[in-house]
Structure 1
Amino acid sequence: MNDLPAQAGRKPVYALPSGSCDAHCHVFGPGAVFPYAPNRRYTPDDAPKEALAALHARLGIERAVIVQASCHGTDNSAMLDAIAWRPDRYRGVAIVDGSFGDGAFRDLDDGGVRGVRFNFVRHLGGAPDMAVFDRVIDRIKGTGWHVVLHLDGTDIVPLAGMIRRLAVPFVIDHMGRIDTALGTEQPAFQTLLELARQENCWVKVSGSERISRFPFDAAVPFARALVEVSPERTLWGSDFPHPNLEGEVDEADLVDLVPRFAIDAASQKRLLVDNPARLYGFAA
């Protein structure tokens, strides 16, 4: 868990381009207003919308995609409240289940949600009910929404067939949580690169702090390869406030990785501004 106050820490050396988007961040609580799910696998420290805004003010970020985290379960209220606070600048990704009907999806869409997220990660409970997964995928076909897949690196190859067949746009979180110690030629990463070449696949070059140690050098060749293979369908995010992560992270260090991922100004603007604007419908 990140113990740094969001407004603390240094400013990045790298100056983000105007309109930059944090395409993967969270709000937690406050628990007294937005209670955590009773069956949650972890209980985070509160990180409300004001903390997220303070972080973005320090980093120079103007837009954000708030991803519902599993500790709030299918109660998307904290995320929706944050979007309503800054509706022109925030979008959301929800967690849903089989109980969500047309009205619930309509309310989420009206609230700025543009996708649904499913966790396959073992420490968060493992694979979802695939019958529910399939029903949700069928429901969002043709709506302009996408599905976000949170995977363990070891599951990329076994799940690749299912992922390839998805009939909606899909986004893979955190570079697939690849084991960087196994190198870029490992089957899991080569499979991820193959998926990234699909026209409906997007990948977040986020989570460097999850797949490498400070100063996160080990993440660089993986992120750069993804940006090079899919320059128009890669996204960057801070993952604030870094749930289930031991030790502190200064998000300025993550921002300063960007020019090592995308090596020229045009590719940096695509990664940070153009790509998220296109996927999430931010104004030009």
Structure 2
Amino acid sequence: MEKILVTGSNGQLGSELKVLSENYSQFEWVFADRNQVSLDNLADLENQLELINPNVVINCAAYTAVDKAESEEEFADIINHLAVGVLADWSHENNAKLIHISTDYVFDGTSSFALNEDSPTKPINVYGATKLLGEIFCLKNNPNAVIIRTSWVYSSFGNNFVKTMSRLMQERDSLNVVNDQIGSPTYAADLAKAIVDIITHSDWKSGIYNFSNEGEISWYEFALAIKEIGDYNCEVSGIPSSAYPTPAKRPAYSLLDKSKIKDSYNVIVPNYKESLKKMMSL
């Protein structure tokens, strides 16, 4: 029986994989939090992998506090970059498959059309820079790895935009939401299913892939969809990013082209609104 290790098991994606794993009992699943597999302890990481000895590694663990990363660059780099190199090296040496999760923040946001896997990367914040270095190190140490870039992840688990908006719309009469950052959200349950589709596919094709839900929207339009589905009375207004300064700059445009993952692995990519309705009805 193949053993699948999921790092970052308490995060949104790890939690969704845990739910989905119940339908895939042909695998032995190991869900590891930061105590069992600690990406911030490079000296011990290889030993932890040896103990578990998986056939497949799904790396959902990451330093994702985008603004905090600006002042914690070294720590973010260990988790998002250096540790990924260790995972890639170990999986390559032990003939294990590796799926590593990356981000749309590897782009600078100046594009005006959907970005494919070959679009030039140029991060504009520390988080994006460390994630890009992680991608490079991953494929250098294990050319057989699969990297999935995703964006605007939400789920019924953890803290995210959908849950925050739902709460605030019930607490407040009005909200301002940024309307000049364009992309597409990702329901973590859909991404989890895409990952399992890749693992169970007969033909493993390494490389970088994009995955997010279908649709091209701003955070403001995303908030309007949440308001509509939740039937909230809160007044939602769009504001420019300049009115809401943050320590880390965000890409203004990071819509991902999903053609490659659909063609290579027959992955189904639902529309963002269908998935949002599904999550909000849970």
**TM-score normalised according to structure 1 size:** 0.36
Compute the TM-score of the two structures, normalised by the length of structure 2.
Answer: 0.37
Give the structure with the higher percent strand.
2
Q: Which has the larger radius of gyration?
A: 2
